[in-house]
Chains A and B, each alone.
Chain A
Amino acid sequence: MAGFSPTRRNEDPRLLAGLGSYVDDIDPPGVLHAAILRSPHGHARIRSIDVTNARHHDGVHAVYTAADLGRFNQPAPLVVPHPNLTHGRTQRPLAVDKVRFIGEAVAMVVADDRYIAEDAAGLIEVDWEPLPAVVDFRSAIGAELVHDDVPHNVAARLAQMVGDPDRAFQAAAHVFEEALFIERSCGSPIEARGVVAVFDPRLRTLKVWDATQAPLTIKNGLANMLGLPEFNVEVIAPDVGGGFGTKIMLFFAEEVLVPWAAMQLGRAVKWTEDRREHFISANQERGQQHSVRIAVDADARILAIDDKFVHDTGAYTPYGMVVPIITVTQLPGPYKVPNYRSEFTVVYTNTPCVSPYRGAGRPHGCFVMERLIDRIARELRLTPNEVRRRNFVRPDEFPWDVGLPFQDGAPTRYDSGNYHAGLDLAEQMIDPTAFRADQAAARRAGRYLGLGFAAYVEGTGIGPYEGAHVRIEPSGKVFAATAVTSQGQGHYTSFAQIVAAELGCDPADVTVVTGDTSRFNWGAGTYASRALVTAGNALGLAARAVREKALALGAELLEVGIDDLELGNGRVAVKGAPGRELTLGALATASNPIRYAYGKEANQAALRLVKPREGAVLAAGEEPGLEAQRFFAPERATWASGQHAAIVEVDPATGNVEFLRYVVVHDCGTLINPTIVEGQIHGGVAQGIGGALYERLHFDDSGQLVNASFMDFLMPTAMEVPEIEVAHLETPSPLNPLGVKGVGEAGTIPVAALVAEAVEDALSPFGVRINEMPLSPPRIRELIEEARSYG
């Protein structure tokens, strides 16, 4: 795709100057502040709630409990249903009778300011009856019930099969088994959640600012819940300080309570989540336990995989079972797995709810697959990369069908890629041969260096669809609107580039509007690495339609054929005739046959109107202006891929792991903006490193979150994340006009697997085996000691 790819983003000057507009920055006149009273217990019955003292506190306008909400207090919609989710449960905005996780909302105080609201919340007296809590999902089946009507705490089971795994296992030369455990973490954007709502009782219109990744769905849902027509509700996702999936969770309690309260009180109401709340009430993810077997032939070729796993969904299932479904479909990764059985059980625990966090099930699947690759390599005395190469889908084997439906219902069918070339490039960059020499020398000097690789694929760009509206204004500036929002991914720039490439103008002249439901009414949201593929292509199609209108009008006004025109530099010009041109702005003005002249170009247009003519100025079916609205619905996901490699040093005395080099080769199809892509990868890798070596949520037996702060939940700082060297490979997608694939989650997917391979390699003299994530220095020491004691 020809077009200028700037490294500077359109959105930055405003953000750099401190002129961003995040939800907590929005203070409508007279706004009141909400604070939520949350359960301090992992599992408890509510015997009674007394809000008298809270209600009487100075500055308090209202205190609501479930009783006050009446019929409004319905269980939240189960936003991603599935036939196998036989025992899905969602929470009510305010708990009735029972709380099932620490942080569950029990009451809401609305007061003059947040300080007073918290004071008043502290005066609410709740008579709790603590109940035994189920915290470890590995022993949830058959433990105390989280939901009285959900036997064994099982929300869902799903068994799927491809081919004939039993036969393959019987005939196999080798069968290996692994038990693998991945622990819970969370997205933890630096901006927590927040909602501001303003209700106009005269017009019965509701305007909501919400740090969400899906404002349209929120709008439609709120309209439905609050009994308002959709066109009376506006939801705006303003500047959002990071999403990572945490903010795609829909209709969390505060998201519906705040607008409801605004309607009740006839005042603007605002809730800004604080960090402690975020840790105990925003959604989390990553807990799974796998029991997996793999069958290979004598040449290390994979014949079959049989994987059983338990997935922790927390106390409720508002987002369905998307995460484990993605794990299943993504587990085979870039490898050919002719026979595959997968069975998973989703279990409830008395912990905060689980819904997608960057990676959304893929890191789990990749961890399992890559650990199996390492196992095969070790047993058959090959290098892991040799095993990878023998099993990679080859470039001439696309489209490659995994044999299962993906999270969007369409087949899991890889469209394009070149995994061999990617791994070759990663090896070139990291130079394993030189490394082995370094490693040997280091070992003689008592230092332990290790090298690891990991490979993954990522299904991106799923439907259902996105749309875009593009319009050229008389000023020559271009307005482009779409429903997908931004949480920092640079959409205001990459989307502008796509439009600018079609219209032959400067991306800096394209203003992109996203996340405002009053500006564009159709679409789903920003999740699953889909925004560029879906909205990007819709923008391209809309811009192309506008381009065609501009050329047609230019041809008419300049009295030439369309083929005699070229479009560039913001103008339409006659080829080879300097001076015979019209700017896009002039064309936009001319395209609107108006009566009132408000400027020079408009004057020309208005003059044309008063010339004598026959017939209407607009033919039947013709529209004024240079604008178009188009949609793009992908037929199925498009498959990005990548290979990471890293050199680490492990200090066996302290268990500390340090990165000496980190290399990424990734393929997201056609590159629109390499700088933005690299930024996404850097950020993803950093979160992957966090999940591999630092981040862990510690719940005690009663369901209390022991490390609910940044002091004790360890996110990596600039000292813990290495320099990341990125190389790009481009295998365009045949599934969309731009040939693009998504990249938002890519960086996180293989990191845990990579760290496991690298640390095992470093500590191979000790014979350490890694079957869990995250690791920590104390745990690495334990693994060394355990390996030693086995002789």
Chain B
Amino acid sequence: MPDRRLVTVTVNGHVYKRAVEPRLLLSDFLRHELGLTGTHVGCEHGVCGACTVLVDDQLARSCLMFAVQSDGCHVTTVEGLAPSVDDLHPVQQAFWDAHGLQCGFCTSGMLITTVALLREHPSPSDGEIRAALSGNLCRCTGYQNIVKAVRLAAQRTDGRV
């Protein structure tokens, strides 16, 4: 029988207790154990950024963490950004208004990375936006409208994300 550890982790404000194998990746834990499928998996080697979440308010590629490592942590996924589809977070709203997504697969990673960026740099230049997003690959948009969305979000939120 595989070794299981008890993990107590707060995700989007809810406390979850689960017994997990140490090798279970945080990305798989969030998606399949907790059913939070908004975080996506694109590469499992830490380059595409689709799996990006916040762990204790810091950016983390969830494919490069084990679920056991999140014991005692606070995790924020895309599902935790907005109360509902009708009440979007300002960053999500900006992406909608600026056509900042096409297929939507890289989008949750982009949103989380944007939130982290704006918390630290409320008024980033386009160059700073692009540098901050360079760890998130998108194959659909050519990034242009994503940058536009981040600029729009920055203007509207003034760091309050």
A and B form one complex? yes
A723 to B43 CA separation, bound complex (whole angstroms): 27
Chain A residues, Cβ within 8 Å of B32: 27
Chain A residues, Cβ within 8 Å of B42: 190-192, 241, 275
Q: Does B5 contact A (CB under 8 A)?
A: no
Flag B78-92 by CB within 8 Å of A: 1 or 0 each: 110110111010001
Known: A488-B102, A710-B48. A17 touches B141 (CB 8 A): no
**B43's contact among A242, A678, A686, A709, by CB below 8 Å, is which?**
A709
Which B residue sits closest to A676, measured CB to CB? B99
A18 and B77: CB pair below 8 A?
yes
Q: Does B108 contact A (CB under 8 A)?
A: yes
A192 to B147 CA separation, bound complex (whole angstroms): 25
A17 to B86 CA separation, bound complex (whole angstroms): 9
Flag B91-108 by CB within 8 Å of A: 1 or 0 each: 010011101011111111
Q: Does A437 contact B (CB under 8 A)?
A: no
Min CB–CB distance B49 → chain A (angstroms): 9
**B99's contact among A9, A241, A687, A721, by CB below 8 Å, is which?**
A9
**B97's contact among A7, A187, A676, A717, by CB below 8 Å, is which?**
A7
Chain A residues, Cβ within 8 Å of B24: 115
A12 and B105: CB pair below 8 A?
no
Considering the complex, which residues of chain B in the window 138-161 have a beta carbon less than 8 Å from any beta carbon of chain A? Answer: 138-147
Q: Does A724 contact B (CB under 8 A)?
A: yes
Known: A12-B96, A17-B79. A239 touches B88 (CB 8 A): no
A115 and B21: CB pair below 8 A?
yes
**B103's contact among A27, A188, A189, by CB below 8 Å, is which?**
A189
A60 to B85 CA separation, bound complex (whole angstroms): 40
B142 and A189: CB pair below 8 A?
no
Flag A2-40 by CB within 8 Å of B: 1 or 0 each: 000001110111111111111011010000000000000
Chain B residues, Cβ within 8 Å of A710: 43, 45, 47-48, 137
Total A residues in contact with B, Cβ cutoff 8 Å:
58
Q: Does B41 contact A (CB under 8 A)?
A: yes
B137 and A686: CB pair below 8 A?
no
Chain B residues, Cβ within 8 Å of A240: 103
A132 to B40 CA separation, bound complex (whole angstroms): 39
A685 and B102: CB pair below 8 A?
no
A13 and B85: CB pair below 8 A?
yes
Q: Does A244 contact B (CB under 8 A)?
A: yes
B141 and A239: CB pair below 8 A?
no
Min CB–CB distance B15 → chain A (angstroms): 20
Chain A residues, Cβ within 8 Å of B131: 718-719
Q: Does A274 contact B (CB under 8 A)?
A: yes
A274 to B42 CA separation, bound complex (whole angstroms): 8
Chain B residues, Cβ within 8 Å of A683: 102, 139-142
Q: Does A490 contact B (CB under 8 A)?
A: yes
Chain B residues, Cβ within 8 Å of A675: 99
Flag A172-212 by CB within 8 Å of B: 1 or 0 each: 00000000000000011111100000000000000000000
Min CB–CB distance A764 → chain B (angstroms): 29
A679 and B102: CB pair below 8 A?
yes
Q: Does B111 contact A (CB under 8 A)?
A: yes
Q: Does B130 contact A (CB under 8 A)?
A: yes
A438 to B129 CA separation, bound complex (whole angstroms): 28
Q: Does A682 contact B (CB under 8 A)?
A: yes
Q: Does A487 contact B (CB under 8 A)?
A: yes
Flag A666-680 by CB within 8 Å of B: 1 or 0 each: 000000000110110
Q: Does A715 contact B (CB under 8 A)?
A: yes
**A709's contact among B37, B47, B86, B140, by CB below 8 Å, is which?**
B47
A274 to B63 CA separation, bound complex (whole angstroms): 12
Q: Does B73 contact A (CB under 8 A)?
A: no
Pair count A-B, CB < 8 A: 186
Chain B residues, Cβ within 8 Å of A577: none
A56 to B92 CA separation, bound complex (whole angstroms): 48
A269 to B143 CA separation, bound complex (whole angstroms): 36
Min CB–CB distance A194 → chain B (angstroms): 11
Q: Does A619 contact B (CB under 8 A)?
A: no
Chain B residues, Cβ within 8 Å of A723: 144
Considering the complex, which residues of chain B in the window 21-70 have a beta carbon less than 8 Å from any beta carbon of chain A? Answer: 21, 23-24, 31-32, 36-45, 47-48, 50
A17 and B144: CB pair below 8 A?
no
Q: Does A489 contact B (CB under 8 A)?
A: yes
Min CB–CB distance A141 → chain B (angstroms): 34
B38 and A19: CB pair below 8 A?
yes
Chain B residues, Cβ within 8 Å of A21: 37
A711 to B36 CA separation, bound complex (whole angstroms): 27
Which A residue sits closest to B38, measured CB to CB? A18
A25 and B144: CB pair below 8 A?
no
A18 and B108: CB pair below 8 A?
yes
Chain B residues, Cβ within 8 Å of A191: 40, 42, 103, 105
A15 to B103 CA separation, bound complex (whole angstroms): 8
A242 to B131 CA separation, bound complex (whole angstroms): 24
Min CB–CB distance A541 → chain B (angstroms): 27
Considering the complex, which residues of chain A in the window 710-728 have a beta carbon less than 8 Å from any beta carbon of chain B? Answer: 710-711, 715, 717-719, 721, 723-724
A20 and B96: CB pair below 8 A?
no
B23 and A115: CB pair below 8 A?
yes
Known: A16-B95, A189-B105. A274 touches B142 (CB 8 A): no
Which B residue sits closest to A680, measured CB to CB? B102
Min CB–CB distance A487 → chain B (angstroms): 6
Known: A8-B97, A15-B101, A487-B103. A275 touches B134 (CB 8 A): no
A18 and B79: CB pair below 8 A?
yes
**A17's contact among B45, B78, B133, B143, by CB below 8 Å, is which?**
B78
A126 to B86 CA separation, bound complex (whole angstroms): 54
A676 to B103 CA separation, bound complex (whole angstroms): 12
A290 to B126 CA separation, bound complex (whole angstroms): 41
B103 and A241: CB pair below 8 A?
yes
A190 and B37: CB pair below 8 A?
no
Min CB–CB distance A263 → chain B (angstroms): 24
Min CB–CB distance B57 → chain A (angstroms): 18
Which B residue sits closest to A116, measured CB to CB? B2
Considering the complex, which residues of chain A in the window 475-495 have a beta carbon less than 8 Å from any beta carbon of chain B? Answer: 487-490
Chain B residues, Cβ within 8 Å of A682: 141-145
Min CB–CB distance B87 → chain A (angstroms): 9
Known: A24-B41, A711-B45. A15 touches B147 (CB 8 A): no
Known: A18-B78, A488-B104. A679 touches B45 (CB 8 A): no
Considering the complex, which residues of chain A in the window 667-706 have a beta carbon less than 8 Å from any beta carbon of chain B? Answer: 675-676, 678-679, 681-687
Flag A715-743 by CB within 8 Å of B: 1 or 0 each: 10111010110000000000000000000
Chain B residues, Cβ within 8 Å of A684: 142
Min CB–CB distance B131 → chain A (angstroms): 6
Known: A275-B45, A683-B141. A190 touches B101 (CB 8 A): no
A686 to B130 CA separation, bound complex (whole angstroms): 14
Min CB–CB distance A494 → chain B (angstroms): 12
Chain B residues, Cβ within 8 Å of A14: 85
Chain A residues, Cβ within 8 Å of B84: 17
Known: A15-B107, A115-B21. A715 touches B142 (CB 8 A): no
B48 and A190: CB pair below 8 A?
yes
Chain B residues, Cβ within 8 Å of A747: 142
Chain B residues, Cβ within 8 Å of A719: 130-131, 134
Which 8 A-B residue pairs are closest in the complex by CB-CB distance? A18-B38, A488-B103, A241-B105, A682-B142, A15-B104, A488-B102, A686-B142, A710-B47
Contacts A681-B142, A709-B47 known; 12 new A-B pairs at CB < 8 A: A7-B97, A7-B99, A9-B99, A16-B101, A19-B38, A24-B40, A190-B139, A191-B105, A487-B103, A490-B102, A679-B142, A685-B142
Q: List 15 A-B contacts (CB under 8 A).
A: A12-B95, A16-B92, A18-B77, A21-B37, A22-B37, A24-B31, A25-B31, A115-B23, A188-B139, A191-B105, A241-B106, A275-B43, A682-B142, A717-B135, A719-B131
Residues of A within 8 A of B (CB): 7-9, 11-22, 24-25, 27, 115, 187-192, 239-242, 244, 274-275, 487-490, 675-676, 678-679, 681-687, 709-711, 715, 717-719, 721, 723-724, 747
Residues of B within 8 A of A (CB): 21, 23-24, 31-32, 36-45, 47-48, 50, 77-79, 81-82, 84-86, 88, 92, 95-97, 99, 101-108, 111, 129-131, 133-147
